[in-house]
Amino acid sequence: MDKIVIVMPTYNELANIKRMIPALLDDVFPKIKNAQMHLLIVDGNSPDGTGQYVKKLLKGYKNLHLLLEPEKRGLGWAYIWGFRYAMENLKADAVIEMDSDFQHPPRFVIPMVEAYLKGADYVIGSRYIKGGSIPKEWAISRRIVSYFGNLFIRLALLNFKIHDLTTGFRLTKVNGVLDKIDLENIRELKRFAYKVDLLYQSIKLAKNVVEIPLEFAPRTEEKSKFDAKEMISTFKLAIILGILDKKRFVKFGTVGFVGYLVNATGLWFFGRYEDFLPEPVIWALAVEMAIINNFLLNNFWTFRKERIRGFHKWALKFFQFNLTSMGALLIQTTVGSLGVFIFGSQYRQLLLPFIILFFIMPYNYFMYNAVIWRTWKVPFVERIRNIIKNKNSNFLSS
């Protein structure tokens, strides 16, 4: 049977921990039949005696464990010590991150474990999917900060698949995910922001990420340790990780440049036959060469992991790619003409790099990721896809 260890850091949570230990060990754990559940508390030398209180309970519960930090070292450090201990000493198959203050209601451990037992190697307790929620008691301002903070991080990391990137309630499988992460070198271990780096690394390693709804409850006792400083460091880290993650974008840019060279070569080559090739044909052939080049290079390099297989798919995607390229042509024509209209024709050459950088590259990158190779699942693109799919199947069946 798999062993799952809940790692729970505490700092001045005496009133909460008194209720949390029985809530988990006496109530929730017995309901989980197919996994062996343990609770590991990591106390940051709480002045209110949380650690000492837990110590007294250890004898009575064989599935309860305690690590006493010499001092408050910050949330990330508490967690990685807990993870280490869970892996090395308790031989855990999976670990759960969870708050001690009932904001992550203990009953949600059950669906989380179920998702793991069904094959997930990373489970995210999400406040921003159907069924999940943030406290009704929260003031509008706090809701806005929480929602837009998350949206901001999704944009910075360009991750639209996962809806809650800062949640503190998650399960990570040890084999293949947690044991592949260099825990000591997670960024911002002193802060709550460690969560963003840990998530970022985990979703790269995990093969089956599942989000389950979490009803994030209001705090009942004491007050939150998440302040403005923690928030700023979280945003900062998301931006840094977002930039580091742009390898794919660099490849995409390189392919675009090679495409330009192919285009120029094509013009030169077909230009040699200008005596019997009409001018538009020379240009069309050169452009199509660049399109084919970009399609092949992107498919086998930039989007290697997502590359297209099968003849039908190839034909369809190549057609879509040509349409996308026509869209780029349309954008360039429109913005270029508009620019010349506003600034005058002496700026025609200057406008070109500007249009490429701010219009064509973002447009192409978006289309490649969202439509052609589908690395991003963008909600409105998915909706359009579904409409087209349904239309097609109606058409076929009628």
Binding site for ligand GDD (CB under 6 A): 9-11, 13, 42-44, 69, 72, 74-75, 78, 99-101, 103, 166-168, 192, 195, 224-226
From ligand GDD, Mn ion, none, which one binds at residue 124 (CB under 5 to 8 Å depending on kind)? none
Q: Minimum distance between the CB of residue 39 and Mn ion, rounded to whole angstroms?
A: 17
Where do we find the tokens 């909460």? Answer: 16
- DSSP-derived secondary structure letter, 217: P
- β-pair type (170-173, 122-126): antiparallel
Q: Minimum distance between the CB of residue 202 and ligand GDD, rounded to whole angstroms?
A: 14
Q: Minimum distance between the CB of residue 52 and ligand GDD, rounded to whole angstroms?
A: 14
Q: Minimum distance between the CB of residue 83 and ligand GDD, rounded to whole angstroms?
A: 13
From Mn ion, ligand GDD, none, which one binds at residue 259 (CB under 5 to 8 Å depending on kind)? none
From ligand GDD, Mn ion, none, which one binds at residue 132 (CB under 5 to 8 Å depending on kind)? none
| 8 A C-beta contact, residue 183 and residue 79 | no
From ligand GDD, Mn ion, none, which one binds at residue 225 (CB under 5 to 8 Å depending on kind)? ligand GDD
Question: What's the rounded Cα separation, in Å, for the pair 201 and 206?
Answer: 9
Helix H or strand E segment including 141: helix 140-156
Q: Which CB, 96 or 287, lies closer to ligand GDD? A: 96
Q: Which CB, 100 or 299, lies closer to ligand GDD? A: 100
From Mn ion, ligand GDD, none, which one binds at residue 93 (CB under 5 to 8 Å depending on kind)? none
Residue nearest ligand GDD, Cβ-based: 168
DSSP annotation string for 338-354: HHHHHH-GGGHHHHHHH
Residues 342-361 touching Mn ion, rule: CB under 5 A, are none
Q: Minimum distance between the CB of residue 101 and Mn ion, rounded to whole angstroms?
A: 4
Q: Minimum distance between the CB of residue 36 and ligand GDD, rounded to whole angstroms?
A: 23
| 8 A C-beta contact, residue 263 and residue 287 | yes
Q: Which CB, 188 or 328, lies closer to ligand GDD? A: 188
Residues 302-321 touching Mn ion, rule: CB under 5 A, are none
Question: What's the rounded Cα separation, in Å, for the pair 365 and 158?
Answer: 12
Cα–Cα nearest to 217, from 18, 20, 11: 20
Q: Minimum distance between the CB of residue 349 and Mn ion, rounded to whole angstroms?
A: 57
198 Cβ contact list (under 8 Å, min separation 6): 76, 79, 181, 186
Bridge-partner residues for 133, per DSSP? Answer: 215
From Mn ion, ligand GDD, none, which one binds at residue 211 (CB under 5 to 8 Å depending on kind)? none
Whole-number CA gyration radius for the chain: 27
Rule CB under 5 A: say whether 263 interacts with Mn ion.
no
Residues 94-113 touching Mn ion, rule: CB under 5 A, are 99, 101, 103
174 Cβ contact list (under 8 Å, min separation 6): 86, 87, 92, 93, 94, 95
28 Cβ contact list (under 8 Å, min separation 6): 37, 106, 107, 109, 110
Helix H or strand E segment including 126: strand 122-126
From Mn ion, ligand GDD, none, which one binds at residue 237 (CB under 5 to 8 Å depending on kind)? none
Site for Mn ion, rule CB under 5 A: 99, 101, 103
